[in-house]
Amino acid sequence: MDYFKVTKRCIRCLKPLRENGTCQNPKCVRYKPDPEPEKKQEEKTNDGAK
Ligand SMILES: [Zn+2]
């Protein structure tokens, strides 16, 4: 039986996952930074809420 392609989705935000199965939604608790960043992103926005 051939089902249509099932896009794996995050169990938290329901966004489609990357090919490696990580969440690409930065606002999601399961978000994983890109393992191979091609461009450096300096995030200076640290609100220190932690
Ligand atoms: Zn997610």
pLDDT per position as a tens digit, 1-48: 666 778 899 999 999 999 889 999 999 999 999 766 566 666 676 677
29 and 11 Cβ atoms separated by less than 8 Å: no
Residue 22 domain boundaries: 1-33
CA–CA distance from 40 to each of 28, 34, 36 (Å)? 21, 11, 10
24: in domain: yes
State in Å: Cα 20 to ligand 1 middle: 13
Terminal-to-terminal C-alpha distance of the chain:
48
State in Å: Cα 16 to ligand 1 middle: 8
State in Å: Cα 32 to ligand 1 middle: 9
The whole-angstrom separation of Cα 24 and Cα 12 is 12
| Residue closest to 32 by CA, chosen among 41, 40, 17, 22 | 22
State in Å: Cα 42 to ligand 1 middle: 22
pLDDT of residue 3: 65
9: in domain: yes
11: in domain: yes
pLDDT of residue 47: 74
What's the structural domain count of the chain?
Answer: 1
CB 10: neighbour CB atoms within 10 A?
Answer: 19
22: in domain: yes
38: in domain: no
